[in-house]
Amino acid sequence: MLIYWHKRDFRLLDNPALNLSLELCRSNNLEFLPIIGLETDLINNPKTSSEYGIFYQYGFAQAVIPLVNNYQYFGIRAGVFVSPFLEYLEILQAKESIKFLVSHQEHGTDGTYTRDKAVQKFCNTHNIIWHQIPSSGVIRGLIDRDTRDKLVKKYFSSTTLKLPSFEGIEQFVALDNTAALASIERIKDTTIKNNPALQSTSEKSALACLESFVTDRARNYRGGISSPNKAITSGSRLSQYLAFGSISLRYVNQFFWNHIKQTTDSKIQAGLLGAMQRLHWREHFIQRLETSPNMADVAIHPDYDKITYNNQYFDQYKTGQTGEPLIDACIRCLLATGFINFRMRAMLVSYGVFGLDIDWRDLGRFLGTIFLDYEPGIHWSQIQMQSGITGINTIRVYSPHKQLLNQDPDCIFVKKWVPELSNLTPLQIQDYLTSSLNQLTGGNYPNPVVNFILASKINKAKTYGIKSKTTKESSHLVFLKHGSRKPRSKTKLQAKPKSNPKAKQANKKPAPIESGLQSQELF
């Protein structure tokens, strides 16, 4: 038997690991079983629970239930489990000998890395060959970052894979999925009832979102992604689909490229080019975590681990009660929708660390629970960068008051998410540093818990104190291991697919699904 293990790659289209699984089944005359699971040991482990909170479980359910139905469409019954992965694997091994285990390469924190080492040990003990297939521009075992760009360009330009054929594939009859599917359905239904603004994470929704971006929304991408009011439609909104693997980065990149060549709308072209650059940076940051999977606990520049923090106002931060209108609006928006744009995320981290003196590790774990698009590599790279502890990036401190004036001058976003302020004028809200919002709202909204200007000055001094003592040699070592090799302004992707006579016709007009099954037929 061959088991294909879906690990945050909840899709059928452009899935190299799935394609290899089917090839191995045919060439070795093996039964095929795709399995998908909610790993309860990761959910219940204090070290990993923040990564697998209710928003992750919701996103998992939204992606997996349609995936199970799509397999059913092809006559394949997927195995579904709600348990530790190794427990489920042991049950399957007892039913029938497993020859191959196939999955994509996962780039996670120490929690998933530890789990994978245990899985490898199990495979070695039972003579199971485990193939872990690259499915992104992140390179496992990368030693020389100077060679990385060529390898990444090779991935981005390689031909995307069509939907695989399941014809002639013999299936292993899985265990009863009824209880597991019912549990996953309950998670989805309960979460969407409490958080109706959450996006879907299914493959079909990913393809629809991609189509709407390239044909319309990309027009406002440049100049529209900094404001929390505009970014909700001007941004690609593909991040949660990429995080759950409902669509591949390569497919998105080439879909962008094909549309750039076809459209005559210069604003859409500019927006798509801007979005493509960010795909490159996405892989750059995930590469950091692949190189240092302990980034959730240890600063990539070890000198900064000497900084101590005081989490006195963490509870006010987590509930959106800091007295900073834009900060509180962003937190409440995240608690309801799981999404906020990048600039606001950077501000939330900056304010948490430099304003409230919250430990970046605790801050990162909390934010990881309320980002529907939580991607460990991006998340922890950005947490460390915005906390000023990398030793190779500029220390930036975002003023919540300045961001309010620049990004929400009419206080539309603030009034939506902080209804206590809805009856005040924009000027009254903007003057919160010199007046009392607590008094203006009849005690319904707090004044700022700290004086941000004074607090940030003190907390910046701690970080700069470390920075001034670090040697050029130690920072250079961090750069060699984690630094980008080209200026941001010159970063471009080799997006055009390699010339391929067979693929040329398919690439002539990009389609959501390049096979007999169209996107509207997906569940």
pLDDT tens for 193-231 read 888 899 999 999 999 999 999 999 999 999 999 999 999
Residue 142 has what pLDDT? 64
Residue 503 has what pLDDT? 39
Q: In CATH, which of 1.10.3720.10, 3.40.720.10, 3.40.50.800, 1.10.579.10 is domain 302-470?
A: 1.10.579.10
Nearest of 254, 261, 287 to residue 13 by alpha carbon: 254
Q: How far apart are CA 443 and CA 445, in angstroms?
A: 6
Q: Do domains 2-161+176-184 and 302-470 have the same CATH topology?
A: no
Place of tokens 């990162």: 364
Q: How far apart are CA 60 and CA 41, in angstroms?
A: 15
pTM across the whole model: 0.88
Q: How far apart are CA 240 and CA 221, in angstroms?
A: 18
3-state secondary structure 207-237: HHHHHHHHHCHHHHCCCCCCCCCCHHHHCCC
Summarize the chain as % helix, strand, coil (round to 5).
55, 5, 40
**Cα–Cα separations (whole angstroms), residue 434 to 267, 320, 331, 421:** 41, 20, 23, 16
Paired residues of 4 in beta bridges: 34, 102
What six digits make up the tokens of 464?
């700069």
Q: How far apart are CA 314 and CA 366, in angstroms?
A: 10
Q: Are 513 and 207 in contact (CB under 8 A)?
A: yes
Q: Is 60 helix (H, G, I), strand (E, B) or coil?
A: helix
Tell whether the torsion through CA atoms of 512, 514, 520 and 523 is positive or negative: negative
Residue 214 has what pLDDT? 98
Q: How far apart are CA 369 and CA 258, in angstroms?
A: 35
| Neighbouring C-beta atoms of residue 113, cutoff 10 Å | 15
Q: Spell out, as residue ranges, where the chain has pLDDT lower than 70.
A: 141-148, 469-523
Element (H, E) at 38: strand 32-38
Q: How far apart are CA 247 and CA 245, in angstroms?
A: 5
**Cα–Cα separations (whole angstroms), residue 99 to 4, 7, 37, 124, 456:** 11, 19, 20, 11, 57
Q: How far apart are CA 400 and CA 452, in angstroms?
A: 9
Tell whether the torsion through CA atoms of 251, 257, 260 and 261 is positive or negative: negative
Q: How far apart are CA 495 and CA 156, in angstroms?
A: 6
Expressed in angstroms, the distance from the first to the final Cα of the chain is: 27
CATH superfamily of 2-161+176-184: HUPs (3.40.50.620)
The domains of the chain are located at 2-161+176-184, 302-470
What six digits make up the tokens of 328?
């509180």
Residue 141 has what pLDDT? 67
Q: Are 276 and 323 in contact (CB under 8 A)?
A: no
